[in-house]
């Protein structure tokens, strides 16, 4: 894909990062997804005093993408950190549920350091609904 598409994604993710609600960690994250129709859907992290209720930028973007009925083509993450940060484990699992393994995922710092991967490389042994379909009924003892 042409570089201008990546540029649009980086801008959308950075704009989302500025809207993050991270009063506890001070770790502001923005994510943007380019969808199959060319649209871009963004998300930011939203923390909660009850830490387990915190939502990551990637999962918020995936939720909005699902609501819009779209499919991801590319995913970017922007962080204000000294190095690029890949998605957390929970986000990797959610990405694996909604994006094919070959979808490219890029993380970037504000000064332009970048980490490139794919959904499949981030979580090579993702749990999937296929595991549930393959369950065999247990024998009663």
Residue 59: strand, helix, or coil: helix
pLDDT tens for residues 68-110? Answer: 999 999 999 999 999 999 999 999 999 999 999 999 999 999 9
134 is catalytic: no
E runs forming strands in 59-131: 72-79, 104-109, 114-118
CA-wise closest residue to 79 among 54, 115, 53: 115
Kindly name the residue from 34, 47, 58, 104 that is annotated as catalytic.
58
CA 17 to chain centre: 13
Domain assignments of the chain as residue spans, ordered by start: 3-133
* 74, 5 Cβ separation under 8 angstroms: yes
pLDDT tens for residues 11-61? Answer: 999 999 999 999 999 999 999 999 999 999 999 999 999 999 999 999 999
Q: Which pTM does this prediction carry?
A: 0.88
* 37, 59 Cβ separation under 8 angstroms: no
User: Which of these CATH numbers, 3.40.50.720, 2.60.40.10, 3.40.140.10, 3.40.50.2300, describes 3-133?
Assistant: 3.40.140.10
* 47, 34 Cβ separation under 8 angstroms: no
């Amino acid at each position: 894909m042409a570089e201008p598409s990546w540029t649009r994604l980086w801008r959308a993710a950075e704009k989302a990062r500025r809207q993050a609600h991270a009063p506890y960690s001070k770790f502001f994250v923005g994510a943007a997804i380019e969808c199959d129709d060319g649209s871009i859907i963004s998300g930011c992290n939203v923390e909660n005093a009850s830490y387990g209720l915190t939502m990551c930028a990637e999962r918020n973007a995936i939720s909005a993408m699902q609501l819009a009925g779209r499919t991801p083509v590319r995913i970017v993450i922007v962080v204000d950190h000294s190095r690029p940060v890949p998605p957390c484990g929970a986000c990797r699992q959610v990405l694996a549920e909604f994006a094919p393994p070959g979808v490219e995922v890029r993380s970037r710092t504000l000064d332009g350091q970048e980490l490139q991967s794919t959904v499949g490389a981030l979580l090579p042994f993702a749990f999937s609904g296929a595991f549930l379909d393959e369950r065999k009924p247990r024998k009663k003892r």
